[in-house]
Amino acid sequence: MGSVITAPERLSLLPLEQTLKRRWMVWGAAMTVFMVGYFHRIAPGAIASDLMATFHTTGAVLGVLSSIYFWVYALMQIPSGILSDRWGPRKTITTGALVMGAGSVIFGASGAFAYCCLGRFLVGLGVSVFMVNIMRLCVEWFRADEMAVMNGWTTGLGGLGGLFATAPLAALSAAIGWRTGFVSIGVFSVLLGVLCWAVVRDSPADCGLPPPDRDRRYRRVVPAERQPVGRGMAAVFRNRFAWPPLLGFMAFYSSLMAFSGLWGMPFLTQVYGISTQGAAGYVMAVSLGLIAGCPVVGFLSDKVLRRRKAPYVAFAFLYALVWAVICFSRGGKPGLSVMYPLCFALGFFSAGFILSIVAAKEVNRPDLSGIAMGTNNAGGFLASAMLQVVLGRVLDANWDGTLLKGVRIYPTHAYRVAFFICFGVSLLGLFASLALKETRCRDLLPVSCKDP
């Protein structure tokens, strides 16, 4: 009687090249919706004046509208990790794209501020599942020593969506109106959801392909549904090594989004007196810096230094330094000639945050990777939601009563006070980076180990 070839043995006979080719199609399809999601993340900054004029809002109210995305995104990160472990990235990403599309249509078609908020809520709800599930796809389709690089490329290329939310969105709004633009983007998002359903697969095994590295066991990590979710969350929160990457990401991302996602454009137009499209070019430099910085820090961490902490600390220090220049140079109004390189540097050095989610995965058990990455992401977006509202209130408190076509004009002093808060937050991120646990680019804990 002949021997029976098991499923792992059959898969091992397939050429690894098929997996290495297919994974780029899977990742690329998921990235298309992530880029649109990143567009929505910072889009309010480009149309801030339009929104304030249309709905007659204060800075604080505009901050609330923008922050709705971040609130729901933050609250959904742990559920996103659970969906990643239980439902799978393919179903989750496709559903998220459809919800995001519906929210964009409602946002653009809204005749009242309440409906505008509803649209922003649905956009945030749909987008909230993308990052964690894309990283879960990377866990299944890429090797462990490629994780930081892939996180860098994911975040960096996602930033291309941010580029369209700056000067291109300002130009589009001037040409056809911001409402028509957002309705069109919503329809496009639905089509991308269909693309993801057709192309994305949760793992190579779902395509009958071998894993990306031959030494990986033929199975997925233990699903979170086989243990109580609350126990898994408690294990992540009890892990003292999970807190530094969480706090670092909160500091990096909240201050970056405060500038590029909302208040950078009003600051440039009101303090420097330049046009909306001119200011959008400077905010675009932030996105360009992020796009350039993410692959760089990922490559340095994975391939050059084989470390997480050293590049994290370096980028955190330089990021805080950029905020110091913005706050203290010429009374909070650096020369316009240096604002473009400052904006680029702000985006470039903020890219250190991509190591947060990788470090969070590596200091927690592999079977809790979805929950760990979701928890880390939640912290950054929760902090972003709170900081945008806080800065809006600070600006309103320092407003001198000047109005132009129904839009509040804030003085330089108001922006300086607001950005000084961002500088303080960046210093907290630097302190968190110094406490980061070095993982040497590998998981520190086996599935069966006890919590640290």
Please report, for the domain that includes residue 29, its CATH number. Answer: 1.20.1250.20
Q: What pLDDT was estimated at residue 229? A: 63
**How confident is the model at residue 53, as a pLDDT?**
82
Q: Which residues of 299-315 are buried (b: 16+ CB within 10 A; e: fewer)?
A: bbbbeeeebbbbbbbbb
pLDDT confidence of residue 78: 75
Task: Please indicate, yes or no, if residue 376 is contained in any of the structural domains.
Answer: yes
Section 320-329 average pLDDT:
95
Judged against a pLDDT cut of 90, whether residue 394 lies above it is answered with yes
Please determine, for residue 225, whether its predicted confidence score (pLDDT) is greater than 60.
no
**Mean pLDDT, the chain, as a whole number?**
84
Q: Helix H segments across 259-368? A: 264-272, 276-299, 309-328, 336-350, 354-362
- Looking at residue 86, its pLDDT comes to 80
Would residue 397 count as lying in a domain? yes
Does 307 score more than 90 pLDDT? Answer: no
Residue 149 has pLDDT above 80, yes or no: no
Largest CA distance in the chain: 90
pLDDT at site 375: 80
The answer to the question of residue 183 being in a domain is yes
- In a domain, residue 5? The reply is no
d(CA 26, CA 434): 36
CB atoms within 10 A of CB 159: 27
Q: Assign 104 a pLDDT band (cuts: 50, 70, 90).
A: very high
Q: Is the pLDDT of residue 400 over 80?
A: yes
Local confidence band at 211 (pLDDT 50, 70, 90 cut-offs)? confident
The tokens of 36 are what? 């649109």
Please tell me the distance from the alpha carbon of residue 436 to that of residue 317, in angstroms, as a whole number. Answer: 14
Highest mean pLDDT of the ranges 1-15, 88-102, 259-273: 88-102
- What pLDDT, on the 0 to 100 scale, is given for residue 30? 94
Is the pLDDT at 437 greater than 80? The verdict is: yes
Q: What Cα–Cα distance (Å) separates residue 443 from each residue in 132, 360, 361?
A: 17, 10, 7
Res 298: pLDDT: 83
Q: How many CB atoms lie within 10 A of CB 328?
A: 13
Q: CA-to-CA distance for 151 and 145, rounded, in angstroms? A: 11
pLDDT above 80: residue 168:
yes
What pLDDT does 124 receive?
92
Q: What 3-state DSSP class applies to 193?
A: helix
449: exposed, middle or buried (Cβ count in 10 Å: 0-12, 13-18, 19+): exposed
CB neighbour class for 386 (10 Å; exposed up to 12, middle 13-18, buried from 19): middle
Give the global pTM: 0.76
- Percentage of the chain beyond pLDDT 90 is 37
Per-residue model confidence (pLDDT) at position 135: 84
pLDDT for 441 equals: 64
Q: For 88-104, what is the mean pLDDT?
A: 94
Q: How far apart are CA 13 and CA 15, in angstroms?
A: 6
pLDDT of residue 452: 52
Tell me whether residue 440 is in a domain.
Answer: no
Residue 123, in any domain of the structure: yes
- In a domain? residue 1: no
Confidence category of residue 13, pLDDT binned at 50, 70, 90: very low
pLDDT number for residue 444 = 65
The angle at the Cα of 379, spanning 378 to 381, to the nearest 5 degrees, equals 65
Residue 219: pLDDT band (50, 70, 90) is very low
**Cβ neighbours of residue 204 under 8 Å, at least 6 residues apart?**
19, 22, 23, 140, 141, 210, 211, 212
Q: How would residue 305 be classed by pLDDT, with cut points 50, 70 and 90?
A: confident
pLDDT at 2: 46
Rounded CA-CA distance 233/236 in Å is 5
Angle in degrees, CA 252, 257, 262, rounded to 5: 155
Tell me what the mean pLDDT of segment 237-254 comes to: 90
When divided into structural domains, the chain yields a total of: 1
Residue 403 lies in a domain: yes
Give, in order, the Cα–Cα distances in Å from 218 to each of 8, 18, 209, 365.
Answer: 6, 16, 11, 18
pLDDT average, residue stretch 330-351: 93
Helical spans, DSSP H, in 110-241 = 113-127, 130-141, 147-164, 167-176, 178-199, 229-238
Is the model more confident about 394 or about 450? Answer: 394
Where are the alpha helices (H) located in 165-228, listed in sequence order? 167-176, 178-199
**Residue 445: which pLDDT band, with cuts at 50, 70 and 90?**
low
Mean per-residue pLDDT for 354-365? 83
* Residue 215, pLDDT above cutoff 70: no
pLDDT tens-digit readout, 136-147: 898 888 887 777
Q: Is the pLDDT of residue 10 over 70?
A: no
Which residue segment(s) compose the domain that 256 sits in?
Answer: 20-201+228-434
